[in-house]
Amino acid sequence: MISLISKLRKRIKKIMLRQNQQTIGYNAEKYENLEGKSLVESYNALRHEAHRIEKAVYNDLLISKKPSFDNKVLKVKNIQKIIRRKDYNASTNPVYIWSEKIINAYPNLQQNFIDVNKGCPPQVNLKKGQQFVTDLENRRSCRILKGPLSNSLIEEIINLSYEALKWAPNSGNRQAVRMKPIIEEKEKRLLIGIKEKHCYTAPLLFFVGVDSRLYGALSDFEECMYLDASAAITQIILYLNSVGLGSSWNHFGLDLIKTRNENIKIYKKFQNKLDIPDYIIPIAIIAIGMPEYIPPKPARMPNEYFSI
Ligand SMILES: Cc1cc2nc3c(=O)[nH]c(=O)nc-3n(C[C@H](O)[C@H](O)[C@H](O)COP(=O)(O)O)c2cc1C
């Protein structure tokens, strides 16, 4: 009897261990063996490893775990070598230059990298913060959007939206969120039947997705994929609001797409026509235009309601 219980215990332990490995196991290989990987994945590994070396200064780990960071430096140098082979413009790429600065400054990162590149903290300015929060309160999801938007305006909006997207906080400096502007009527119409009217009639649409190839070191299903996209989309709609344009964030995730066979067909066609690779996980459609009017504020609950 005792041996049976002990066997059972061992079995349960084994199953739990396997489950843990599946859910929280760290897939170190994600950042190894880059030879066969794409340039996008190689740059991701470069950002990830260089970012960890820099972060070690802030976390006081550089001295206590020096041998491990010495190894990381070698790894970064190797990734740089692979990138130089794949990308002839590597030496002018901002991420490559940033990684070089970190490696050249190592191990005296505080002195040679942080102190020479750091900025001065600003004065606390509560008035500015009050204005910022008022702007947040006054932003609305606008669904009655009109044009025309001039070509130069569209160009500026697209460029600045890429800036808003890329400067969003993102997990491990992955920079995995991707955006595709949609201007052509025939491309917008591909969304008929899957999304609401404003998602195919607005003067300008942004399809937002995430490059799933850059995730998977923690588990096969990394929540940060969705969090990174949300942070980027939030910054885009705040930018659009700041210039007086109307926009609305519209869900366009796999859960919605997979609810009906018809949706799957529509998405496949959209994907084909717009050249969206399978590794891009769809997240949202942002509808953009001049707001016909600002809709009434959807009331929010009192602050106590949001407190845990
Ligand atoms: C993740 C997410 C998905 C959304 N999806 C849609 C959508 O599919 N269609 C839509 O009309 N609005 C969508 N919205 C907008 C919300 O309905 C809107 O933000 C909410 O009602 C609050 O209104 P406000 O943005 O004007 O404050 C979405 C917002 C978020 C954050």
* E runs forming strands in the chain: 145-146, 177-182, 204-211, 246-251, 280-291
The answer on 16 and 76 residing in a single domain is yes
- The confidence score (pLDDT) of residue 9 equals 65
The answer on 108 and 158 residing in a single domain is no
The answer on 172 and 73 residing in a single domain is no
- The confidence score (pLDDT) of residue 44 equals 95
Instruction: Answer yes or no: is 302 within a domain.
Output: no
Q: Which range, of 74-88, 150-164, 208-222, averages the lowest pLDDT?
A: 208-222
Tens-digit pLDDT profile for residues 1-31: 556 666 666 665 555 444 443 333 345 556 6
pTM over 0.85? The answer is yes
For residue 301, pLDDT beyond 60: yes
Ligand 1 atom nearest the C-alpha of 295 is 26
For residue 15, is it left (φ>0), alpha (ψ between -120 and 50) or beta? alpha
Average pLDDT of the segment spanning 202-218: 92
Cβ atoms of 210 and 189 within 8 Å: the answer is no
What is the CA(143)–ligand 1 centre distance, in A? 10
In degrees, to the nearest 5, what angle opens at C-alpha 111 toward C-alphas 104 and 175?
60
- Residue ID of nearest Cα to ligand 1 atom 8: 250
Length of the chain: 308
When divided into structural domains, the chain yields a total of: 2
Average pLDDT of the segment spanning 175-203: 98
* Residues 16-23: contacts with CB under 8 Å, at least 24 apart: 22/219, 22/220, 23/219
Among 131, 213, 219, 135, CA closest to 174: 213
Tens-digit pLDDT profile for residues 52-74: 999 999 999 998 999 999 999 99
What is the CA(250)–ligand 1 centre distance, in A? 6
- The confidence score (pLDDT) of residue 24 equals 34
The answer on 77 and 29 residing in a single domain is yes
Instruction: Answer yes or no: is 124 within a domain.
Output: no
The answer on 112 and 157 residing in a single domain is no
Percent of the chain with pLDDT over 90: 85
Indicate if ligand 1 lies below 6 Å from the C-beta of 141.
Answer: yes
What is the CA(291)–ligand 1 centre distance, in A? 16
Among 198, 191, 192, CA closest to 141: 198
Domain that holds residue 54: 11-117
Mean of all residue pLDDT scores within the chain:
91
What is the CA(251)–ligand 1 centre distance, in A? 8
Average pLDDT of the segment spanning 276-280: 97
Instruction: Answer yes or no: is 267 within a domain.
Output: yes
- The confidence score (pLDDT) of residue 23 equals 35
The CATH number covering residue 278 comes to 3.40.109.10
* C-alpha separations of 46 from 41, 50, 71, 174 in Å: 9, 6, 14, 10
Can you say how many angstroms the Cα of residue 100 is from the centroid of all Cα atoms in its chain? 24
Q: Greater confidence, 8 or 91?
A: 91
Instruction: Answer yes or no: is 40 within a domain.
Output: yes
Tens-digit pLDDT profile for residues 231-274: 999 999 999 999 999 999 999 999 999 999 999 999 999 999 99
- The confidence score (pLDDT) of residue 36 equals 82
Indicate if ligand 1 lies below 6 Å from the C-beta of 196.
Answer: yes
Average pLDDT of the segment spanning 82-99: 97
Cα 227 from Cα 232, distance rounded (Å): 9
For residue 218, pLDDT beyond 80: no
- The confidence score (pLDDT) of residue 214 equals 94
Indicate if ligand 1 lies below 6 Å from the C-beta of 227.
Answer: no
Cβ atoms of 229 and 177 within 8 Å: the answer is yes
- The confidence score (pLDDT) of residue 216 equals 86
The answer on 227 and 161 residing in a single domain is yes
Instruction: Answer yes or no: is 299 within a domain.
Output: no
Q: Which of 248, 252, 293 to mutate to test the pocket of ligand 1 (most atoms within 8 A of CB)?
A: 248
pLDDT band at 280 (very low <50, low <70, confident <90, very high): very high
pLDDT band at 34 (very low <50, low <70, confident <90, very high): confident
